[in-house]
Structure 1
Amino acid sequence: MTYTPVLAASPFWGALLTILTILGSLGIFLYGMKVMSEGIQKAAGGGMRKALATLTHNRVSSVFTGFFTTSLVQSSSATTVLVVSFVNAGLLTLVESIGVIMGANLGTTITAWLVAWIGKFSISKVALPIIGIGLPLFFVGKEKIKAIGESLIGFGLLFTGLAALKNAVPDLKSGVAENAHLQEQVINVIDFLNGFGPGSTVLFLIAGIILTVVVQSSSAAMAITITCAWNGWFGTDPLEAFHISAAVVMGENIGTTVTAWLASIGTSVNAKRAARAHFLFNVVGTIWAILAFGILIPFVWGLVDLFPKEIVEIKTGKGEVDNPLTVVAFAVALFHTMFNLLNIFLLVWFVPQIANLVQKWVKDPSEQTTQEQHHLRYISQTLVDLGELNIAEAENAIRTMSEQCVKMFNGFIDVFEHPKDDMSEQVKALKQIEDEADIMMQEITEYLVRCSSKDIGTQHASRIAGMLRITQELEECVDCIYRLVKLNERRYKKNRQFSPDQIESLREYAGNTAQFIQFADAHLLQSISDEQMNKAEEIKSTSIAMRKKLNKSAMKRMADGDVRLEMINIDINNHFEAIANHVLHVVQAGQSMHQSE
């Protein structure tokens, strides 16, 4: 006895099995996209970071960079979340980010073409061999080769998921018995939505928004839309199915902005503006496309007729060649590309105006504390984690921390040089910097630990370890400087005055220390030459020699002078050398990070 016939005969269990099969196919597609995207990031993460940070100085290069990045990772959401992260880190300006976002919208059209061409050849003959090539590469020890293997495995899974999705979605156009009930329900829903005239386009657009928000991927939503179209879910008339599919696709363009919007929560003002610019760009494009829908649809449909029949038509199953709905997949891919190209061409000239508009939309807070300005937040999304690319924001936070260290020491020198002035406000400001350094160290540490929890490879793990060391040393350096400030404040309150010779010696020592701090700040997170490393070690050696010399002189003066004053002098000297120690460790950690790459 078996329960299979019972389950197959039950409309409920049959529908449930169909839904689960579709979800499973979609899961393979999404997981393949995730594996492929993260593998590409590991293989070309540094190059992608440099491209986004350096190839975005004009509108054309910004658009190209966004297109190329999204074409690689196959996720406009991942690209736009990355853009929000880079803007938050100050690596991209708002104007540059808008161009990248425009390019990302064009890059995501690659998915539509993949789905449209999925029936042109046997997926099983392509997907498994691709995985077969990637598998041995994945087990090779070298990081880049392993990442390439991971990308190939993900690409193969992506194709497998698309093929499974094509086969899992019920074929409603033929009206076979097992799909009769489902066919009737779908036709009723489509007829209802299609009965509002021009308003039907808006309803299908809203459906596209909801679909994209639910699956959190415009690429996956696109695959579902095209698959449903060629299986007759949007009617048996090709032009009508194309009309509905195009409206859904436009909604997906708006739905994909939700991810970037969510990622911008808790970030800097400019990061929020970048997310709003993404939303504004897609909404404006959708509005003009809806207004011109009556022209755009016939125009694209007419372009389809210009292509050879063997390119446009797609085989959707064994023995099935003459299915008029197969042309819809090609038409949707063409529409998606044309829509985004026209949208970019129309709006790329108005990037400054878009930037001004979102600046008015998201206004600068009237009072923003330094702590809020330097707040660090791990930005990613549930579908494709940005992995190593997240490190860019931590690097920027560490640079800010180093700048605070330079500012802190300059503040100490200012306090030291004005013993007779009321420096209480300056001391209070320096205390605030010291408190902020503690907060920043905690935030950067937590952020980097979260980055390291991802599968980023040993190369980037070594980089993160070096950044953690630098963060700790900078925080210790700031603490030492603040203790110097307090030592001087205590000396002033007790009215203990150094002799002119002591002051001159301390100035010289402070100058040596300031030079070292500025050297480390200028070469932070960079690979330095042997000559520069020798210079750093020479400054450190000078600091040791000065500390020994000045402490020896202070010990001699103790016999006949103010013991407490000399003890303060010795404490100051010791703190100068401690600072030099921390600074040297910062330089060494930066050098070791690049030696491991």
Structure 2
Amino acid sequence: MQHVEMLFRFIGGLGMFLYGMNVMADGLQKSAGNKMKHLLEFLTRNRLMGILVGAGVTAIIQSSSATTVMVVGFVNAGLMNLTQAVGVIMGANIGTTVTAWLVSMSEWGAFLKPEFFAPLLIGIGAFMMLFSKKEKIVDVSEILVGFGVLFIGLNFMSGAITPYRDAPIFSEAFRVLGRNPILGMLAGLAVTALIQSSSASVGILQTLAANGLVNWSSAVFITLGQNIGTCVTALLSSLGAHKTAKRAAVIHLLFNAIGAVVFGLLMFVVFTVNRAWASSEINSVGISMFHTFFNITNTLLLYPFGNLLVKLSGMIVKDDGEEEQAEEAFELPHIESRFLETPSFAVEGALKETVRMGELAIAHVELVFDAIRTGSQKRVDKAVRLEQNMNEYEKKMTEYLAQISKGSLTDHQRLIINDLFYTVSDLERISDHCDNLAELTQTMISDGLHFSMEAMQGFEEIAGLTVDAVKAAVLARETEKMAYVQQVVQIEDEIDDLEEDLRTQHINRLAHNECSAARGVIFLDMLSNIERISDHANNVVGYVADEKEG
């Protein structure tokens, strides 16, 4: 019965450790907000800057796997080239060592032992979470609670293992793994691939080491295997991606595998010469030191060969040329399921893609107005096809925004996502009105109808204002500048007044038989649709204004 209790204790501790890590990472991400977005904005073709960015982002989100998955997504979306990706991947491996140092804090001194301060952190965090309504304070409380639960979980795991410190099965197992580098690396790889986190698998190894169950040789080879195992997540993520994204995942594998092989051979020689060191016990701080030393040294060694890694990935994932062209039919490059791992990136991608949808709406408005001017059948047909694209855009964007809304967001990010739901709908409605205008133009072409000079002058005036309104609305969404918001509000008022005047003038022409009933009905319907386009543009800037006030 005691063995079952210890097993339950270990499983429960592992669960708390993983949950605490997840809660802490969520709190860190929300607390960082758009800072991670700005980190990426600093990313240039300079590989050194990429290393710093990769390390910084990974330290924040507490997962090199998540960072690399995002890199695969950026490369797949065309937002990052392979040269930039190499640097970020190198930096991600360095950033992931932060978690190992956090886990080893229990061996820094009595004051830092988990059982000493973790309950206090959870208590403080819980009170802050319950009694504060300020978003920043709630984010900090999540970090504290996650931090505390993480260490309580470690303490549970450690307590479950303590009775078995002298059990021969553990010493024998790690002795075998220590003598056989391949077995040790495979064990580390398998565990990491299974739980999809090198940080978590290193944490488990450190817990065993803290109880005196792990020797130096087995720890080194298992850690090297864990660094290879972390590549599995990115490789799986790249399965449905473009060839370039697959190459980014392969670069991650090459970088870690080459480093592991080189270090594995070197350490095998060292441990063969110094068997006493190889069989001596290692503690969690020692694992943190080796983990950090390996990743930093591996980065320094392979940094000059970044371009060679890119070439090797091209040799492994060969370009067949045709597949890439076939996949370019209709894509939304800024929205990627891989970005959902980090909500701040997902929100930023959704914003950029909404702006692209807005630019497509501008093109649609200009195209259909040009079709009215020229009576061109080709422009009418193209406008109809654009409306189909806008429908597809709305569908994909709505699905993606729904996925983002399920994630861990700040109040401001949640407000933005809610507004984007409405913005996407308004942009699609603009397209619907353009489609109505295209149908009315088609009727005019089929029936051989033409507007009078007075009607066309009125159309040109209201059409010009409407195009200006939609353009300013998209710029307001992109830049969040209130000047564009005010511009749209002013134009929309002018369009309302102008639409009423033009409607009155046209009814007078109908009353004096200066215009046929068929042309009159079409013109009035066109005015109604054009005025509705400006209304939707006004809605778009209204959401931006709400965000600024919020």
TM-score by length of 1: 0.82
Shift of the 349–523 alpha-carbon distance from structure 1 to 2, 3 Å rule, reads farther
Report whether the alignment pairs 1:386 with 2:360: no
The residue number in structure 1 matching 2:496 is: 544
- What's the CA shift string for 1:351-398, capped at 9, x where partnerless? 4444455466274523224434559453368xxx53454322322321
Q: Which moved more, 1:560-569 or 1:342-351?
A: 342-351
The residue number in structure 1 matching 2:199 is: 219
Instruction: Output the CA distance in 1 between the equivalents of 2:542 and 2:493.
Output: 15
Shift of 1:149: 0.9
Larger helix fraction of residues: 2
Root mean square deviation, CA, Å: 3.1
Instruction: Output the CA distance in 1 between the equivalents of 2:357 and 2:318.
Output: 27
Instruction: Give the secondary structure class of the aligned counterpart of 1:560.
Output: coil
Instruction: Output the CA distance in 2 between the equivalents of 1:357 and 1:434.
Output: 43
The residue number in structure 2 matching 1:210 is: 190
Shift of the 356–53 alpha-carbon distance from structure 1 to 2, 3 Å rule, reads farther
Q: Is the 8 A contact 2:377 2:442 kept in 1?
A: no
Give the gaps of 5 or more residues in structure 2: none
Give the gaps of 5 or more residues in structure 1: 1-6, 9-13, 235-240, 305-322
Report whether the alignment pairs 1:163 with 2:155: yes
For residue 349 of structure 1, the aligned residue among 280, 295, 304 is 304
Shift of the 359–546 alpha-carbon distance from structure 1 to 2, 3 Å rule, reads farther
TM-score by length of 2: 0.88
Following superposition of structure 1 onto structure 2, how do residues 357-376 of structure 1 map, counting pairs within 5 Å? Answer: 357-358=312-313, 361=317, 363=319, 365-373=324-332, 376=335
Q: Is the 8 A contact 2:24 2:143 kept in 1?
A: yes
Shift of the 297–414 alpha-carbon distance from structure 1 to 2, 3 Å rule, reads farther
The residue number in structure 1 matching 2:261 is: 287
Q: Is the 8 A contact 1:26 1:162 kept in 2?
A: yes
Shift of the 405–277 alpha-carbon distance from structure 1 to 2, 3 Å rule, reads farther
The residue number in structure 2 matching 1:146 is: 138
The residue number in structure 1 matching 2:397 is: 444
Instruction: Output the CA distance in 1 between the equivalents of 2:535 and 2:96.
Output: 50
Instruction: Output the CA distance in 2 between the equivalents of 1:20 and 1:62.
Output: 43
Instruction: Output the CA distance in 1 between the equivalents of 2:86 and 2:146.
Output: 29
Shift of the 533–115 alpha-carbon distance from structure 1 to 2, 3 Å rule, reads closer
Q: Is the 8 A contact 1:254 1:279 kept in 2?
A: yes
For residue 584 of structure 1, the aligned residue among 538, 541, 546 is 538
For residue 459 of structure 2, the aligned residue among 503, 506, 518 is 506
Report whether the alignment pairs 1:131 with 2:122: yes
Q: Which moved more, 1:29-38 or 1:497-506?
A: 497-506
The residue number in structure 2 matching 1:466 is: 419
Instruction: Output the CA distance in 2 between the equivalents of 1:512 and 1:359.
Output: 51
Given residue 162 of structure 1, which amino acid in structure 2 is its aligned partner?
Answer: L
Q: Is the 8 A contact 1:484 1:572 kept in 2?
A: yes
The residue number in structure 2 matching 1:431 is: 384
Shift of the 347–521 alpha-carbon distance from structure 1 to 2, 3 Å rule, reads farther
Task: Give the aligned length.
Answer: 540
Q: Is the 8 A contact 1:90 1:396 kept in 2?
A: no
* Percent of aligned pairs sharing the same letter: 29
Following superposition of structure 1 onto structure 2, how do residues 216-365 of structure 1 map, counting pairs within 5 Å? Answer: 216-229=196-209, 231=211, 233-234=213-214, 241-266=215-240, 271-294=245-268, 325=281, 327-355=282-310, 357-358=312-313, 361=317, 363=319, 365=324
The residue number in structure 2 matching 1:98 is: 86
Given residue 214 of structure 1, which amino acid in structure 2 is its aligned partner?
Answer: L
Shift of the 376–418 alpha-carbon distance from structure 1 to 2, 3 Å rule, reads same
Given residue 221 of structure 1, which amino acid in structure 2 is its aligned partner?
Answer: S
Shift of 1:492: 1.2
Instruction: Output the CA distance in 2 between the equivalents of 1:136 and 1:30.
Output: 22
Q: Is the 8 A contact 1:525 1:591 kept in 2?
A: no
- What's the CA shift string for 1:237-278, capped at 9, x where partnerless? xxxx22221111111112112223333454566554443332
- What's the CA shift string for 1:34-67, capped at 9, x where partnerless? 1101011111122122222334553222211221
